[in-house]
Amino acid sequence: MNKQDLLKDYKKQEDKMCLSKILDKIEISNKTNRIEYTDFLDMYQIALVQSFLRKNKIINFKLYGGYEDAERKIAIIYPEDYNDKMIEKNYNKMLKIVKIKLLEEEKGKYSHRNYLGGIIKLGLKREKIGDIIVDDYGADIIVVEDFAEILKTGLPSLTRFENSKIQIADIDKLIKKKIKIEEIKIIVPSLRLDNIVSDLARTSRNKASQIIKQERVFVNGKNEIKVSKEIKLGDVVTIRGKGRFIVKEFAGNTRSGRIILLIEKYI
């Protein structure tokens, strides 16, 4: 496996670094005949890694974030003779949950932004942290196993969590994420991606084009940089920093011919 040959078509240094780490994990797994896994990948990196591994016909991998619809996932590389059950038995060795339980009087006080903001304030490595599942009573923060104790030790130093109960749990103790959906209506001149992003992100079409070209937009989990891509019914559009949206229904046209779309937004 010649690393330089495999990476020669990738121009961005951060892409090469990400894929180089994947190749290192593959090499170690092949030599030791054991499971290897990465830190958390964001949506762009997930799409990059999937495309790279499939292109090179590498099939012994799995992307896992603690639950089915996780946005941030680790890449698991495993030997050829491993099956799904063998990999699943190792999930609790790869990922842990740092559980924050709030005081009764603080119930419902904090949002996802509050938890993530606190972690960033501590100066901790973002790639060690996966999704944060929030409910009224606190949050489950998914982390790679070797980072759990570091986060547990750091969180009580934040004023907002100094009186909270914080503990480490296995990934199979993750609370179920409650999916909340808000239905919104947008009116666009066409089904081009830049038009859709402009309305969903509440910005100008020029700014929407920049967001797309900055690789911040995903359609059905795949990074999309073509501003003119036509969006279809049922497509899932994710905009980093703005949320995830499903094109639910074509609701007709205005008198001027603009298209009315019903959108479901995950909140």
Whole-angstrom distance, CA of residue 190 vs CA of residue 120: 39
Give pLDDT, residue 265. Answer: 93
Contacts of 228 (CB under 8 A, 6+ apart): 192, 193, 194
Q: Label the pairing between strands 181-188 and 259-266.
A: antiparallel
| CATH 3.30.1370.160-classified regions of the chain | 3-89
Burial of 7 (0-12, 13-18, 19+ CB in 10 A): middle
Give pLDDT, residue 159. Answer: 93
Give pLDDT, residue 241. Answer: 85
The 10s digit of each residue's pLDDT in 67-105 is 988 999 999 999 999 999 999 999 999 999 999 999 999
For the cut 90, the answer to whether the pLDDT of residue 137 exceeds it is yes
Give pLDDT, residue 1. Answer: 63
The 10s digit of each residue's pLDDT in 15-42 is 999 999 999 999 999 999 999 999 999 9
Burial of 193 (0-12, 13-18, 19+ CB in 10 A): buried
The 10s digit of each residue's pLDDT in 106-119 is 999 999 889 999 99
- Domain with residues 181-266, CATH architecture: Roll (3.10)
CA 95 to chain centre: 15
- Domain with residues 93-173, CATH architecture: 2-Layer Sandwich (3.30)
Class of 3-89 in CATH:
alpha beta
Give pLDDT, residue 256. Answer: 94
Confidence of residue 4 (pLDDT cuts 50, 70, 90): confident
CB 48 within 8 Å of CB 21: no
Mean pLDDT, the chain, whole residue set:
94
| CATH 3.10.290.10-classified regions of the chain | 181-266
Whole-angstrom distance, CA of residue 53 vs CA of residue 135: 36
Q: Whole-prediction pTM value?
A: 0.85
Q: By mean pLDDT, which of 54-58, 100-104, 175-179, 217-221 is the weakest?
A: 175-179
